[in-house]
Chain A
Amino acid sequence: MQSLGLPAVTGFDEMIGSGSEVRPHYTGYHDWLLQQDRQVLQRKRKEAELQFHRVGITFNVYGEDSGTERLIPFDTLPRIIPGAEWLQLEKGVIQRVQALNLFLHDIYHDQNIIKAGRIPAEQIFGNAQYQPCMQDVDLPNQVYSQISGVDLIRDDAGTWYVLEDNLRTPSGVSYMIENRRMMMRLFPELFAQQTVAPVEHYPTLLLETLQQSAVHSHPTVVLLTPGRFNSAYFEHAFLAQQMGIELVEGADLFVKDGYVYMRTTAGPQRVDVIYRRIDDAFLDPLAFRADSMLGVPGLLSVYREGNVVLANAVGTGVGDDKSIYPYVPDMVRFYLDEEPILANVPTWQCRREAELKEVLARLPELVVKEVHGAGGYGMLVGPAASQAEIEQFRQRLLADPDNYIAQPTLSLSTCPIFVEQGIAPRHIDLRPFVLSGHDTRVVPGGLTRVAMREGSLVVNSSQGGGTKDTWVLEDGEASSC
């Protein structure tokens, strides 16, 4: 038997401490690992890959030939979070999502946060994500973001930060569930040995959340997908199947006499709640982009009258836009009268002249992002960029400073993955999924994304990132939801 030695780590590693010791919450796993045969582990990894192909967990990658599907790499070494630490994270993301929902309700109604001078009016109303059609529309429960993904990272010191909020159509939760199933299938003994908080009940909680968002009981809930060419189509089909609801495309729905109906073999059936995985711009070709073939003509008129619920609401993008992100800690103080539990990454707003000046002077060390960008596109990672790339980005910044924010390059914590030679550290992040119905709830853990390339900080699955199973240990302190 060949054992797996611990790799050297620089920065903060989840498993291995600065003195090259295994962190306490990983000792159970590490003891098990030491007893494993490398060939057996290798075989199990192959098996996982085969299984994922069989169930069809694939991902369309933007920018490649359309229809190109590939597997998101899955690493079998779990990312483990101690129960007590999770408790803090859970409180932090719930607090943040509650504040963001209150913010969205406020700016689409009385706009107290603007009147109080905490956010400049033009930052909201000049933002393309603020939807005029949502002004003064009352939503049941006043919940705008029923499903939120909060991206968390840790720096060199192990301090947690919120990197960004996702309040539009956050994806990835199917990987969280499938990764756990896979680990339980491959290594059942690991789960007998220690208590890992379950995540399998996420679809049940999601369905409850969607049902709670309706005005009356026993609502008909459907999942609206852009179709099989969408990168997250697998997830749409998976969640609909898990929840036992219909998976529909725009053409399956129509609007008549103030309601939304689904075409079924038994005639039209009224729809009460739509879990939509389509962006605002494509929802209703009569109200937004006229060229959208994905949406439902007339949908917005029904929605504004309160005769159908959309999850998430139209116009949530103004809460997770990168230009609004710097204000979120202040939202927590303003709406909840609490101090934020989770910190923001320090952020320079290039729309402010003094901050732009500082950013331009420090480009080689900073990360610069487009305020409306997503998926790791349109950004500059200073330390990894060539002189030419930095100069090119400088011109873009100067041409349109309002369009950019900048942050220090946080190196992200690492967690070992299996590689040819044994195990080696790779950078990771964490996306817990927060559900807002009558209460705000989170299943323990979330999706851990891994930058599979050595040294890389880009964890996005669209750019070659992989995933890991995420364990929250029930060591007596973890809550259960």
Chain B
Amino acid sequence: MKLSINHRTEYRYSELVQHSTQYLRLTPRPSSRQRILNWQMALPESAERASDGYNNILHVLTLDRPHQEIALTVKGEVEITDEDGEDADHRLSPLVFTRYTTLTEPDEALRALASDLPGDNMGRKLENLSETILTAMPFTPGATDVASSASAAYRVGKGVCQDHTHVFLACCRALGMPARYVSGYLYSQDSSHVASHAWAEVWQDDSWHTFDVTNQTRRPRHHLKLAVGMDYMDACPVRGVRFGGGAESLQAVAQVSELGPGDNQ
């Protein structure tokens, strides 16, 4: 399936920002599962391309003159193959992904959830876990925020893809299963869905396997992966620090549409 992505993020500030630095994880790394046909970023200034510890493509953007807005636009076309199971993309040990982070530290409730899963093998248990999480916390925008931990979101009983993923990761790690956070884009025929998405991958039988809790799917055929990490903080598309600026308002529009077979000729 070929997808076209158009993603614009705009930050506006009530006062002048003196200096800002951003880590952008807005460029997908090509793999056997995702082919990048073309990809462009429009930024206020040129950014330094680097990679981070999880082998994500990272752009470092520094604005050291006073500014009151930051606009980031990415456009691209990609081809996704319909297969699950990705090899380790570099030499980082999957065991790293058994550690808890501030956002994925399980409390008593999550430990109990992880230890009581039905199923005669780990794959079945994790599928049950995924179902249970979505039932316990139906997709509800606005009930949580980006700083909500897995435990806090689970207590609220509602959440978005980020919360579903954090709860899933916390439980996997409580079971000793390496599991990581994936940030990316999702194609959906229903255009009311948010195109920016998060899901989980679990390390089993020497490869990474998809668990998209929010969409109850294990087949990432509509998923374009941007970045992976321990949790949202590692993989989020934009992470920045600014000096000055006052209040911030954010507007983000992400569109993912299907490309016809002849569209990129």
Contact = CB atoms under 8 A, between A and B. Distances in A.
Interface string B161-189: 00000000000000000000000000000
A254 B62 contact: yes
A131 B23 contact: no
Interface stretch (A8-16, A133-141, A340-348, A418-426): A133-141
A260 to B, nearest CB: 11
Given A134-B53, A301-B48, A125 B93 contact: yes
A124 B53 CA distance: 16
A67 interface: no
A298 B93 contact: no
Contact of B64 (A132, A256, A285, A301): A256
B37 interface: no
A297 B22 CA distance: 8
A290 B21 CA distance: 13
A137 to B, nearest CB: 8
B19 A126 contact: no
Contacts of B58: 301
B112 interface: no
Contacts of A133: 52-53
A287 B23 contact: yes
Interface residues of B, number: 28
A298 B60 contact: yes
B93 A301 contact: no
A131 B53 contact: yes
B241 A285 contact: yes
A394 interface: no
Interface residues of A, number: 30
Nearest to B53: A133
Interface in A248-288: 251, 254-258, 285-287
B91 A135 contact: yes
Nearest to B19: A254
A324 to B, nearest CB: 15
B62 A287 contact: no
Interface in B77-97: 90-93, 95-96
A23 interface: no
Contact of A301 (B50, B54, B243): B50
A141 to B, nearest CB: 22
B89 to A, nearest CB: 12
Nearest to A286: B23
A301 B98 contact: no
A132 B95 contact: no
A37 interface: no
Contacts of B230: 132
A130 interface: yes
B62 A136 contact: no
B51 A257 contact: no
B53 A254 contact: no
A64 interface: no
Interface in A94-153: 111, 121-122, 124-126, 128, 130-136
A439 B91 CA distance: 30
Contacts of A300: 52
B54 A286 contact: no
B246 interface: no
A126 B23 contact: no
A44 interface: no
A298 B54 CA distance: 16
A132 B23 contact: no
Contacts of B64: 254, 256
B201 to A, nearest CB: 15
Contacts of B239: 286, 290
B99 interface: yes
A298 to B, nearest CB: 5
B182 to A, nearest CB: 16
A281 to B, nearest CB: 11
A285 to B, nearest CB: 5
Given A125-B96, A304-B52, 5 more contacts: A111-B93, A125-B93, A135-B90, A254-B62, A286-B240
Interface of B: 19, 21-23, 48, 50-54, 58, 60, 62, 64, 90-93, 95-96, 98-99, 230, 233, 239-241, 243
19 contacts: A122-B98, A125-B95, A125-B98, A126-B98, A132-B230, A134-B53, A135-B91, A136-B90, A136-B91, A255-B62, A286-B22, A286-B241, A290-B233, A297-B241, A300-B52, A301-B50, A301-B60, A304-B52, A304-B53
Across the A-B interface, the 9 shortest Cβ-Cβ residue pairs: A133-B53, A125-B95, A297-B21, A297-B241, A132-B53, A258-B48, A125-B93, A256-B62, A286-B23
